[in-house]
Amino acid sequence: MQRKFKIRIGWQEALPLLFFICLLFVGLTNYNKYGISWDEPMQRDMGLLSYDYVTGKSNELFNIQNKYHNATWEFINVLPEKLLNLKEGKQIYYSRHILNFLVFWLGAVFLYRLALLFTSDTWLSLLAVVILFLTPRIYAHGYYNSKDIPLLSFFIISMYYAIRFIQKPGWLNLLLLLLFSGALFGMRILGILVPCLTGVYVFLLILSDRSYLKYLKWVCLYFLLYPIAVYVLVPVLWPDPLFHLREAFAMMSHFPYEDPVLFQGQHIKPVDLPWYYVPVWIGISVPLLWVFLFISATIFSLLMFFYRPLSFIRKQPLTLLFLAWAWIPWLMVLLFHSHIYDEWRHLFFIYPAMILLMIGFLKESISLCKKQRKLIVFTFLGLFSWQSVVTLAFMIRNNPYQYVYFNPLAGKDIHLNYDMDYWGLSYRQAWDYLIYQFPVSPLYVQFETPPGEYNLAWFTKEELQKVHLTDYLSCQYFLTNYRFHPVYDYTEKIFSIHVDDLEIMTIFTTNQSNQR
């Protein structure tokens, strides 16, 4: 007699499943709209060299400057190109954008699971993911930023398994923690924060309950095996681990980047940026409600901690852990005078902790104010609905330029005060116009920054025959993303791209176009 097995899925399982399927569908239908960023060709080259080194074909990886900047992920990133034998630029960068979104999506899945560990509430956990995806800049970076988005996702996954490992020590959780935290170190040396934060969490648990001392042997085992995991998963360390570790820490704490960034109306070199550079950028580039919730969550958590420290540690060790995750990296940047530039993308990995603090604050607010519970819930739902609709409308209206999002705190004359399309992705659409819509041939063109050349990879050799790159003085058409020059004197425009009222890309005609 055969037994029939029935799988019953309740709404608490079905709703998240459907939610993440929808997010995946959105990503897989939108990946082909983004251009090639300033860093992508360089990162791809590093991935190819990492692949050649791991497969024993070449040691050229050690001759490039940025070998310590995410070589582990870039090795993974070129696998589709190698395994599928991709040759055309369009195929190669589409594969990169798909893979980048997939790791971003995976990070969102683990953010949900981490939020569920924290709040035990399905709705709040889904809310955490909604906040992540309705942060326009981070959403857009999820397609093309192979430096900071994989770091964000692997940090989430590593922290999830760190907490799971401490709560339920065992070989499987230990192996997964070693795998993800070891690979994280290969993306950026700040990955060392995961074992540090793991130690902080264990210390907080022992302070609140001495019975956790029995788990110390597992934690010590993780600390002992972590260097081995790093060595195995970071190929650039293989020839001489100590030497390359010293070099990596020296370079990544003061990365040799000297191009000025536009901040509050001034072009400033990274080494001279003020201490408030990161807080200001977070304040003006994240939706207002999310900023307000994070500030409120931080103040509330600190007040509760200082009011009754031991009680707070006993009841809210994860809140303290997330406070450390959110704030310590920025304090380290200040302490070591590390170079930060191009907004706050180098610290995107702290944003999940900020989101977790937000939803934790909402849960505590609702539980503490029992008499006003309905009022608090309805007030938040109203504010959340307003912020979500406004933000989603911006993202749809300005797709694929969500990375040029500013909230009202940025003020007026944003283009004169802050960098906009510093990545140069909008060159793709500018070239689309010149090559497909503009009938003149040949086209004598110059562009302001390197992405102007990189985004020619989207076109075939036949399509590029009409394009002739020339110098600034003799070009017919000049393309600019306003990277280093917020204003140009040219008045004749044949094409512009706007993000709401911000002009991020312009094709100017020059005097030479009239002479030819």
- What pLDDT was estimated at residue 301? 95
DSSP label at residue 509: E
Cα distance between residue 456 and residue 388, in whole Å: 36
Q: What's the residue count for the chain?
A: 516
Paired strand residues for 478: 446, 508
- What pLDDT was estimated at residue 5? 45
| Statement: the pTM of the whole predicted model exceeds 0.85 | yes
Q: Up-side HSE of residue 35: CA atoms within 13 Å toward CB?
A: 27
Q: Helices 148-167 & 216-233, crossing angle to 10 degrees?
A: 150
Nearest to 509 by CA among 490, 496, 483, 489: 490
- What pLDDT was estimated at residue 437? 87
Span 307-335, mean pLDDT? 93
Contacts of 343 (CB under 8 A, 6+ apart): 137, 281, 285, 419, 422
DSSP sequence for 63-76? GSTTTTSSHHHHHH
Residue 45 corresponds to which amino acid? D
- What pLDDT was estimated at residue 162? 97
Q: What's the gap between Cα 162 and its chain centre?
A: 21
Cα distance between residue 284 and residue 407, in whole Å: 5
Name the percent of the chain lying above pLDDT 70.
Answer: 95
Contact between residue 146 and residue 188 where contact means Cβ atoms under 8 Å apart: no
pLDDT in tens, 246-276: 888 877 666 667 789 999 999 999 889 999 9
Burial class (CB in 10 A: 0-12, 13-18, 19+), 251: middle
- What pLDDT was estimated at residue 96? 97
Peptide bond into 439 cis (omega under 30): no
Q: What's the gap between Cα 113 and its chain centre?
A: 19
The full set of domain ranges for the chain reads 11-240+259-397, 427-515
DSSP label at residue 88: S
Residue 2 has pLDDT above 60, yes or no: no
- What pLDDT was estimated at residue 396? 97
- What pLDDT was estimated at residue 511? 59
